[in-house]
């Protein structure tokens, strides 16, 4: 499903003045717009039906009908998840309650993240990964764990991928990227200063960027070529980046598996070659 508000937000900077007025109204009043006819939207935005149709087509929709359907679905999903909010863990919870809350929170995060995915963006990311000379991964803290998982996966199928433990080395790698490379910046907030600096440096060298951030506007997603979003539903105390980390890892798995599928036979052969078998005398 195409996410209407995400597409409009990403297109905003290159939109005309009239289009920006339409986009701003849609983003600020999504529930009302989802129920409007094209003529009502034109009246509220002081534009014309033809301008709205052109805007829809520029953002990948066949017309206003498909856009309206996408927006309606998007609002229905958000309403559904608002009604399924899971209470925060608190100090009086039993272990059984903690198990239920953490597990359900992770499941909810995966489900909501799935609803935020734009298949066209996923396809563009996979094509860029396939065509690039090397992948450079950026992330600190809990996001570094996700980056290292991605490195291990792509290394298994002989795709050149790099990640460093400290952000100074990550910045050096960004400085040495070229237009043949692609960077993947992982940051839940999308506002981590070190990651912003790495992203800006990579873009200065004409490298393409994929961002993995929470849903919504963020500095890093504004810099990147392709934006992948995870659900913004972390617990209040985010000491370990729990549900967001699960969703980020899931996005890595999606990119990795999709990449394998476009060269399936070759990938299977490489995996078989690179499999490290344990001897019978080794412990698991």
For CA atoms 20, 23, 28, 32, give the dihedral sign.
Answer: positive
pLDDT at 60: 86
pLDDT at 83: 56
pLDDT at 91: 73
φ, ψ at 125 (rounded to 5°): -60, -45
Q: Burial-class residue 148 by CB neighbours within 10 Å (0-12, 13-18, 19+).
A: middle
pLDDT at 171: 97
The angle at the Cα of 35, spanning 34 to 36, to the nearest 5 degrees, equals 95
Cα separation, 139 vs 59, in Å, equals 30
Is 2 in contact with 120 (CB distance < 8 Å)?
A: yes
- pTM strictly above 0.85: no
φ, ψ at 283 (rounded to 5°): -80, 150
Beta bridge partners of 213: 229
Domains of the chain: 4-81 (1.10.10.10), 116-272 (3.40.50.10490)
Cα separation, 175 vs 144, in Å, equals 19
Q: What is the pLDDT along the chain (284 residues), one digit of tens a residue?
A: 567 887 888 788 889 999 999 999 999 998 899 889 999 999 999 999 999 999 999 988 999 999 998 888 877 766 665 555 556 667 777 888 778 777 777 777 787 788 778 888 999 999 999 999 999 999 998 899 999 999 999 998 889 999 999 999 999 999 999 999 999 999 998 999 999 999 999 999 999 999 999 877 789 999 999 999 887 665 544 444 677 888 899 999 999 999 999 888 888 888 888 777 766 555 55
Beta bridge partners of 183: 136, 209
- Beta strands 208-214 and 161-162 are unpaired
Helix (H, G, I), strand (E, B) or coil at 184: strand
Using alpha carbons, select from 230, 257, 258, 260 the residue that is nearest to residue 246: 230
DSSP string spanning 66-104? HHHHHHHHHHHHHHHHHTT--PPP-TT--HHHHHHHHHH
CB atoms within 10 A of CB 56: 23
pLDDT at 233: 61
pLDDT at 196: 97
Cα separation, 229 vs 188, in Å, equals 9
Cα separation, 237 vs 243, in Å, equals 12
Beta bridge partners of 138: 185
């Amino acid at each position: 499903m195409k996410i209407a508000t995400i597409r409009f937000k990403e297109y905003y900077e290159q939109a005309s003045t009239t289009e920006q007025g339409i986009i701003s109204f849609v983003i600020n009043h999504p529930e009302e717009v989802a129920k409007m006819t094209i003529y009502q939207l034109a009246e509220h935005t002081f534009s014309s039906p033809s301008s709205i149709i052109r805007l829809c087509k520029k953002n990948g929709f066949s017309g206003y009908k498909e856009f309206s359907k996408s927006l309606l679905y998007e609002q229905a999903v958000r309403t559904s998840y608002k009604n399924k909010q899971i209470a925060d863990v608190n100090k009086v919870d039993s272990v059984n309650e903690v198990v239920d809350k953490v597990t359900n929170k992770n499941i909810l995060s995966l489900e909501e993240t799935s609803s935020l995915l734009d298949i066209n963006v996923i396809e563009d990311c996979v094509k860029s990964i396939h065509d690039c000379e090397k992948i450079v991964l950026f992330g600190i803290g809990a996001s570094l764990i996700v980056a290292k998982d991605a490195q291990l996966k792509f290394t298994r199928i002989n795709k050149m991928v790099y990640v460093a433990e400290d952000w100074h080395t990550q910045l050096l790698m960004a400085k040495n990227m070229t237009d043949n490379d692609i960077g993947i910046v992982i940051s839940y907030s999308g506002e981590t200063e070190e990651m912003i600096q790495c992203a800006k440096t990579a873009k200065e060298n004409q490298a393409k960027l994929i961002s993995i951030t929470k849903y919504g506007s963020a500095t890093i997603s504004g810099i990147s070529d392709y934006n992948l979003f995870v659900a913004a539903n972390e617990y209040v105390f985010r000491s370990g980046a729990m549900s967001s980390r699960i969703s980020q890892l899931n996005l890595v798995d999606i990119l990795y598996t999709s990449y394998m599928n476009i060269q399936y036979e070759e990938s299977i052969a490489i995996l078989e070659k690179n499999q490290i078998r344990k001897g019978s005398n080794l412990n698991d």
